[in-house]
Amino acid sequence: MADPEAFDYIVVVGGLLNSENPVDDRTIAFLKEASREKLTLIGLCTGTFVLAAAGLMKGHPTCVSC
């Protein structure tokens, strides 16, 4: 993965999340590092649930629509 600081923001697109661990540990670690660097993280569709499962949504505004 690239250095998170190389981005202005990161969009997480979840897709179908029908497995117990739909995102690998390396990706979760990358997202957590991006969060520590204060990058804007955007969850698109079920990407919001990926961010929440990683513990990255606490204290952040959220809008989920069907």
Residue 30 — φ and ψ, nearest 5°?
-65, -45
**For residue 22, how many C-alpha atoms fall within 13 Å in the half-sphere facing its CB?**
17
59 vs 8, residue with greater confidence: 8
Give me the DSSP letters along 4-64.
GGG-SEEEEE-----SS--S-HHHHHHHHHHHHTT-EEEEETTHHHHHHHTT--TTS----
One-letter amino acid of 4: P
Residue 61's pLDDT is: 76
pLDDT for the residue numbered 41: 93
What's the pLDDT tens digit per position in 12-42? 987 776 777 778 899 999 999 999 999 999 9
Question: Could you count the other beta carbons within 10 Å of the beta carbon of residue 27?
Answer: 14
- The pTM (predicted TM-score) of the whole model is 0.81
pLDDT greater than 70 at residue 43:
yes
